Chains A and B, each alone.
Chain A
C-alpha cells in the first residue's frame, strides 16, 4: 500500500508539468507576439513593453521562459492582470471561496439525492420507483447545467419570486440561500450520472451469490443490503467520482456565469472576453491542478477501499 501511494504521487508530477507546460504554451500559440497577447492589444510605451519582455524572459529560449514562469508560479507570482491593473494573485484569490462553496453544496445534493435514488432503484429494480428514476435520470443527464439553471431562474426566481436572480448574497445563511438554485442546477445532471451508475452496480451486486448466501443464513434484509450489497455495489460510484469532479468544475463555470456569481468561473469567462490572458492562464492552471489532485485522491481512496485493485495493479 505504502509503495503504491508513493508511486501514484510521483506519477502525478509529470502530468502536472506537462499540463502546466501546455497552459504556458498558449501564450505563444495565440496569434500575435506574447507581449501583445498579455497586453490585450493595448498601446504602451517602449519601456513598459521591455519591462514585460524582461518579466517573462521573452528574450530567452522557450524552455528557459517556461522554467522562469513555472518557478514564479511556484513562488506565488502569477503575473499581472492588464485589465484589473493588479497582480493576478490578488484578483483570483478572493474568487476561490465562492466556487468551492458552490461545488461543495452541489456535491452534498448529489450525494443525498443522486446516490439515494440510484441505490433505491438498484435494490428494487423494475418497480414503479425504478421506472420513474430511470426517466428522471435520462432527462436529467440530457439537460446541461446552464439549461437547468436558466429554467430554475425562470420558475423559482422570476415567476414565483422565491429565490434571488443574481449574486452571492452577504454571507452566512444569506449565502446559502443565494447558492441554493445554482447548486441545484449544478447537481441535476451529475445526480443523474451518479444515480445511473449506482443503480447499475447495486442492481448487479444484488444478483451476486454472496447476497443469496447472506440471505440464506437468515440475515435481515437490512443487513444483507447494508453490509453486503452496498459495500460492493458502491465501488463503481467511487470510480466515476473523478469524472463527477471534472464535470463539477466545468459545470461551475457555466453556473456561475448563469447566476452572476463572482467565483472563479465567472472571472474566467470575463477574462476570456476582455483578453486578460494572465488571468485565464492562472485560473486554468489552478482548476487543472485541483482536478489532477482530486483524481489522485480518488484513486488512493479507491485502493484503500477495495484491496483487490491493489493486488491487481501491483502484479500488472
Chain B
C-alpha cells in the first residue's frame, strides 16, 4: 500500500482562496512589472544611464527626455529604469541572506529550546540593542562604503528579526500533535524540524520576508542616499535622491520626484502583498 498518496493532514499551506482583494492584485502586478523592468532595463531605457551630455544639463521634461536630465546631462528616465536593478537586487540579497541564516537559527532555537535557545536569544538581544540603522552605519564606517558592504550590513540587522519571528511560530508549532507523532516514530530532531515543522511555518517566513524586502529597500536606499551605499555613477534610486536634492534648490523637481515615487510605490506594493500573505498564512509581528 505504499503508492497510495496520503494527504498530509497537518500541512497548512496558504489557503487556496479564489481571489485576493483588488489592491493586492494591483500590488502584485506592480512587483512583477518592476522585476521585468529591472531584467529588461537595457532594452527599455532610451539612453545609456551614464551618458554625460553637457549641452543638455538639467533639462525640463520633453519628448526627448520624458523626465528631463540631471546636472551632468544624464537622462533621468534611463537612470530610473537602470536604478531598479541595484534597488531591487540589494533587498533580494538581504532577504536571501536573512532567510539562509535566520531561518535555521530560529528553527534551532525554537525547536531545541534550553541552552541553545538561551544563547541565541542573548545574541539577538545584543544586535537589537543598537538602534537599527546605526549598526549598519558603523559596519560601513569600518569596511568602506559600497553596494556589498551596505547590503551585508543591512542583512545583519534582518537576520535576528527573521530568526525571532521563526522562533516564535516554531514554539507554537512544536506543541502540536503531529510533532509528537513524528517523535514517537523515532525521527531525529533534525528531520522533524526540517521536514515537518519547517513546511508548516514557511507561510510565515514568506510573508515576513516579503515585508522585509520593502523595509530593506528603504534601508539600502537610505544608506545610498547618505553616500554609504551604492556609489555614483551607478544608477540607484537612493543615490538619485542625493543627486536630486542638489538640483531641488534650483527648482528642478523631476529627479527627486521620480526616485521618491519609485521607492514609495515599490515599498507600498511589498507591504500590501506581505500583509495579505501574513493574514492568510500565519501571524507575523
Instruction: Report A's interface with B, CB cutoff 8 A.
Output: 15, 18-19, 22-23, 26, 29-31, 37, 138-139, 141-144, 146-147, 150-151, 153-154, 158-159, 165, 246-247, 249-250, 253-254, 257-258, 268-269, 271-273, 275, 277, 280-281, 284, 287-288, 291-292, 295
CB distance from A99 to the nearest CB of B (A): 12
Q: Given A18-B126, A153-B248, A250-B133, 19 more contacts at CB 8 Å? A: A18-B129, A26-B138, A141-B271, A142-B218, A142-B267, A150-B244, A150-B245, A150-B256, A150-B260, A153-B245, A249-B134, A253-B133, A253-B134, A253-B226, A254-B222, A257-B225, A257-B226, A288-B134, A291-B129
Decide if B155 is an interface residue (CB 8 Å cutoff): no
User: In the bound complex, do residue A284 and residue B137 qualify as a contact, i.e. CB atoms below 8 Å apart?
Assistant: yes
User: In the bound complex, do residue A30 and residue B143 qualify as a contact, i.e. CB atoms below 8 Å apart?
Assistant: yes
Could you tell me the distance between the alpha carbons of A141 and B274 in the complex, rounded to whole angstroms?
A: 13
Q: List 5 A-B contacts (CB under 8 A).
A: A26-B142, A138-B271, A144-B221, A146-B225, A154-B253
Could you tell me the distance between the alpha carbons of A15 and B267 in the complex, rounded to whole angstroms?
A: 33
Could you tell me the distance between the alpha carbons of A142 and B251 in the complex, rounded to whole angstroms?
A: 26
Q: Which of A30, A150, A271, A287 contacts B241 (CB 8 A)?
A: A150
User: In the bound complex, do residue B268 and residue A246 qualify as a contact, i.e. CB atoms below 8 Å apart?
Assistant: no
Contact (A253, B137) CB under 8 Å given A154-B257, A273-B227 = yes
Decide if B103 is an interface residue (CB 8 Å cutoff): no
Contact residues, B193-228 vs A (CB, 8 A): 214, 218, 221-222, 225-228
Contacts of A268 in B (CB 8 A): 137
User: In the bound complex, do residue A291 and residue B130 qualify as a contact, i.e. CB atoms below 8 Å apart?
Assistant: yes
CB distance from A19 to the nearest CB of B (A): 5
Contacts of A277 in B (CB 8 A): 141-142
Decide if B165 is an interface residue (CB 8 Å cutoff): no
- Does more than half of chain A's interface fall in helix, strand or loop, or is it mixed? helix
Contact (A22, B126) CB under 8 Å given A287-B134, A291-B131 = yes
CB distance from A178 to the nearest CB of B (A): 16
User: In the bound complex, do residue B130 and residue A142 qualify as a contact, i.e. CB atoms below 8 Å apart?
Assistant: no
Contacts of B256 in A (CB 8 A): 150-151, 154
Contacts of A153 in B (CB 8 A): 245, 248
Pairs A-B, 4 closest by C-beta atoms: A250-B133, A30-B142, A249-B131, A142-B267
Instruction: Report B's interface with A, CB cutoff 8 A.
Output: 125-126, 129-134, 137-145, 214, 218, 221-222, 225-228, 241, 244-245, 248-249, 251, 253, 256-257, 260, 263-264, 267-268, 271-272
Report how many A-B pairs have Cβ atoms within 8 Å. Answer: 128
- Does more than half of chain B's interface fall in helix, strand or loop, or is it mixed? helix
Contacts of B137 in A (CB 8 A): 253, 268-269, 272, 280, 284
User: In the bound complex, do residue A147 and residue B264 qualify as a contact, i.e. CB atoms below 8 Å apart?
Assistant: yes
Could you tell me the distance between the alpha carbons of A280 and B228 in the complex, rounded to whole angstroms?
A: 14
User: In the bound complex, do residue A23 and residue B138 qualify as a contact, i.e. CB atoms below 8 Å apart?
Assistant: yes
Could you tell me the distance between the alpha carbons of A143 and B267 in the complex, rounded to whole angstroms?
A: 8
Could you tell me the distance between the alpha carbons of A19 and B214 in the complex, rounded to whole angstroms?
A: 28
Contacts of B129 in A (CB 8 A): 15, 18-19, 288, 291-292, 295
User: In the bound complex, do residue B132 and residue A246 qualify as a contact, i.e. CB atoms below 8 Å apart?
Assistant: yes
Max chain A Cβ within 10 angstroms of own Cβ: one of B134, B145, B245: B134
Contacts of A269 in B (CB 8 A): 137, 226-228
User: In the bound complex, do residue A284 and residue B222 qualify as a contact, i.e. CB atoms below 8 Å apart?
Assistant: no
User: In the bound complex, do residue A154 and residue B271 qualify as a contact, i.e. CB atoms below 8 Å apart?
Assistant: no
Could you tell me the distance between the alpha carbons of A108 and B271 in the complex, rounded to whole angstroms?
A: 27
Contacts of A159 in B (CB 8 A): 251, 253
The closest CB in chain B to the CB of A143 belongs to B264
Could you tell me the distance between the alpha carbons of A165 and B131 in the complex, rounded to whole angstroms?
A: 27
Contacts of B143 in A (CB 8 A): 29-31
Contact (A250, B132) CB under 8 Å given A139-B268, A143-B263, A154-B256 = yes
User: In the bound complex, do residue B251 and residue A158 qualify as a contact, i.e. CB atoms below 8 Å apart?
Assistant: yes
User: In the bound complex, do residue A258 and residue B245 qualify as a contact, i.e. CB atoms below 8 Å apart?
Assistant: yes
CB distance from A182 to the nearest CB of B (A): 14
User: In the bound complex, do residue A138 and residue B131 qualify as a contact, i.e. CB atoms below 8 Å apart?
Assistant: no
Max chain A Cβ within 10 angstroms of own Cβ: one of B222, B244, B268: B222
Contact (A142, B133) CB under 8 Å given A158-B249, A165-B249 = no
Could you tell me the distance between the alpha carbons of A257 and B134 in the complex, rounded to whole angstroms?
A: 14
User: In the bound complex, do residue B263 and residue A288 qualify as a contact, i.e. CB atoms below 8 Å apart?
Assistant: no
CB distance from B224 to the nearest CB of A (A): 10
Could you tell me the distance between the alpha carbons of A151 and B248 in the complex, rounded to whole angstroms?
A: 10
Could you tell me the distance between the alpha carbons of A310 and B222 in the complex, rounded to whole angstroms?
A: 39
